[in-house]
Amino acid sequence: MLDDTIAALATPYGEGGIAIVRISGTEALAVAAAVLALPPGQLGEWPTHFLRPAGFYDPRSGELIDRGLAVRMAAPHSYTGETVVELQGHGGILVSQEVLRAVLRAGARLAQPGEFTKRAFLNGKIDLAQAEAVADLIRARSDAARRLALRQMEGKLSAAVRVVQNELTGLMAAMEAMIDFPDEVAGEENWIPATTALAEALERLLAGARGGKAAREGIRVVIVGKPNAGKSSLWNALIGEERAIVTAVPGTTRDALEEVVSVQGVPVRLVDTAGIRETLDLVEALGIERAREMLRRAQVAVVVLDAAAGLGAEDEMVMSLVSEMPRVIVVNKSDLPQPQIDAARIIDYVPGEKVIWTAATTGQGLAELEAELLALALGETGEENSWLIGNLRQEQAVATAWHSLIEARAALEQGLPQECALIDLRTAWEEIGEITGESLPEQIIDRIFADFCIGK
């Protein structure tokens, strides 16, 4: 496959200002020269990475297709590590396709999805974690996801796991030497602390995985409470728009309303739900069941208590629904005179829990509420710079490696034969290698790149 010269549109299909046809491979110069109507050796004399005006011709008929710019990128100083030529023409659907067809007629093969990036990986320009970050950057739907992908593209995850892998290599070498030459090698007393330190390093990576997932996929936050507690007013205030109908009549909200907002770059899907209570109204009952379903799919619940009405059986019903999930207790309408809920009452009601006092009409407490939502959704490590793991494959590899290190440490602590610990250390080494692609089967690598777009 690497012997083929490949080509594809590197820009989206459709109308636009510019369309770029990318050519990569051993025959890239010959293919491009045929389309540029140049003598075979002349293109190779062009300065690398400099654009030149050029005409694009059908290599069979000699007909002019378009005029634009061409650039040669000499190997290995290109995205793929191979010789690359890019033809930059007008962005019309028909003209870009005709230029691509001309390139294919000149001897190139249409690239498979992700094949340019796969060649960059196979040629050692990037590792697998960096290659996956390319796709993540393209698909990013939030600033946090974009920043996470950039950190991975810069090699920060790869650097972190390689430190662990290198330490593992040294540890395994020392252990194997002890097994082969027991009378000549010392240092066994350092194996347990070294294994512990490596496990802790992986544990820190895993702690940031939750934040990375939130950055990529967002978090679902469901606002629940009894009727007329101010849920819809709070939802309107958080999204910055008067979308939900707010009245003094209990049970106004009959369905779930959703809106996505950005909180510190992380997409948060806020869901407003029907007030939860016992009711004989069929439509309202359906809305309450929808609220229960939304809670089952949520990462965080916001429980809204009504400061003006006080606490009652309906609040207890709501609290029972969220007893097993991350939650934020909000006392709304706290700006009204003579509230029925005060600080002493709420401390007794939810002992040990953080309570946020809000007033949806004035914006009081909203910033504090947003910060608390992020803290709950992102887990113990909310610091963005600790978010390095980009997908479930990487997370599972790190988790398996961590578990193997724990098993190895247990074997050492129990005084089992060193070979037992060595087996677990090798498993950890292989799992870590899967992140960068050093120990991943070829069919898995092929599957990863198959999810890329054509031309990348």
pLDDT in tens, 192-228: 899 999 999 999 888 888 778 777 777 888 888 888 7
Q: What is the mean pLDDT of the chain?
A: 83
Place of tokens 């710019």: 69
User: Residue range 85-93: average pLDDT?
Assistant: 94
Q: Where in the chain is the domain with CATH 3.40.50.300?
A: 214-378
* Axis-axis angle for helices 392-413, 418-436 (nearest 10): 170
User: Residue range 307-336: average pLDDT?
Assistant: 81
Residue 276 vs residue 284, higher pLDDT: 276
Q: What is the pTM of this model?
A: 0.74
**Taking every pair of C-alpha atoms in the chain, what is the biggest distance, in angstroms?**
89
Distance of CA 338 to the CA centre of its chain: 47
For residue 191, which of 448, 429, 412, 434 has the smallest C-alpha distance?
Answer: 412
Q: What confidence tier does 105 reach under pLDDT thresholds 50, 70, 90?
A: very high
**Phi and psi at residue 126, to the nearest 5°:** -145, 160
CA atoms of 351 and 346, how far apart (whole Å): 8
Residue 275 in this model has a pLDDT that exceeds 70 = no
User: Residue range 28-50: average pLDDT?
Assistant: 92
Residue 312 vs residue 65, higher pLDDT: 65
Q: Are strands 84-91 and 16-24 parallel, antiparallel or unpaired?
A: antiparallel
User: Residue range 285-314: average pLDDT?
Assistant: 78
Domain 6-111 has CATH 3.30.1360.120: yes
**Phi and psi at residue 313, to the nearest 5°:** -65, -35
Q: Where in the chain is the domain with CATH 3.30.1360.120?
A: 6-111
User: Residue range 24-53: average pLDDT?
Assistant: 93
CA atoms of 268 and 255, how far apart (whole Å): 19
Q: What confidence tier does 303 reach under pLDDT thresholds 50, 70, 90?
A: confident
CA atoms of 220 and 198, how far apart (whole Å): 34
pLDDT at residue 250 in the model: 46
- Which amino acid is present at 177? A
Q: Which helix (H) or strand (E) holds 214?
A: helix 209-217
Residue 136 in this model has a pLDDT that exceeds 90 = no
Show the tokens assigned to 306: 């009504």
Secondary structure of residue 300 in the 3-state scheme: strand
pLDDT at residue 456 in the model: 74
CA atoms of 235 and 242, how far apart (whole Å): 9
pLDDT at residue 245 in the model: 45
CATH class given for the domain over 144-208+390-450 = mainly alpha
pLDDT at residue 249 in the model: 42
Q: Could you tell me the CA-to-CA distances from 341 to 112, 187, 268, 344, 383 in Å, in that order?
A: 63, 64, 29, 8, 34
For residue 369, which of 241, 223, 265 has the smallest C-alpha distance?
Answer: 223
- What are the E-state strand segments in 14-59? 16-24, 51-57
pLDDT at residue 27 in the model: 95
User: Are residues 178 and 185 in contact, defined by beta-carbon separation less than 8 angstroms?
Assistant: yes
pLDDT at residue 185 in the model: 52
pLDDT at residue 248 in the model: 46
Q: Where in the chain is the domain with CATH 1.20.120.430?
A: 144-208+390-450
pLDDT at residue 445 in the model: 78
Q: Could you tell me the CA-to-CA distances from 296 to 187, 215, 293, 323 in Å, in that order?
A: 52, 21, 5, 12
Residue 83 in this model has a pLDDT that exceeds 80 = yes
pLDDT at residue 401 in the model: 94
Q: What confidence tier does 98 reach under pLDDT thresholds 50, 70, 90?
A: very high
pLDDT at residue 30 in the model: 95
Show the tokens assigned to 174: 């020392």
CA atoms of 200 and 222, how far apart (whole Å): 34
Q: What string of DSSP letters covers 124-166?
A: TSS-HHHHHHHHHHHH--SHHHHHHHHHHHTTHHHHHHHHHHH
pLDDT at residue 278 in the model: 59
Q: What confidence tier does 360 reach under pLDDT thresholds 50, 70, 90?
A: confident
User: Are residues 191 and 415 in contact, defined by beta-carbon separation less than 8 angstroms?
Assistant: no
Show the tokens assigned to 228: 């007329």
Q: Are strands 327-332 and 355-357 parallel, antiparallel or unpaired?
A: parallel
Residue 247 in this model has a pLDDT that exceeds 70 = no
Least confident of 322-331, 367-376, 377-386, 392-401: 377-386
| 214-378 CATH pick, 2.60.40.1180, 3.40.50.300, 3.40.50.12160, 3.10.20.310 | 3.40.50.300
For residue 435, which of 100, 122, 127 has the smallest C-alpha distance?
Answer: 127
pLDDT at residue 283 in the model: 60
For residue 26, which of 98, 96, 76 has the smallest C-alpha distance?
Answer: 76
Residue 11 vs residue 295, higher pLDDT: 11
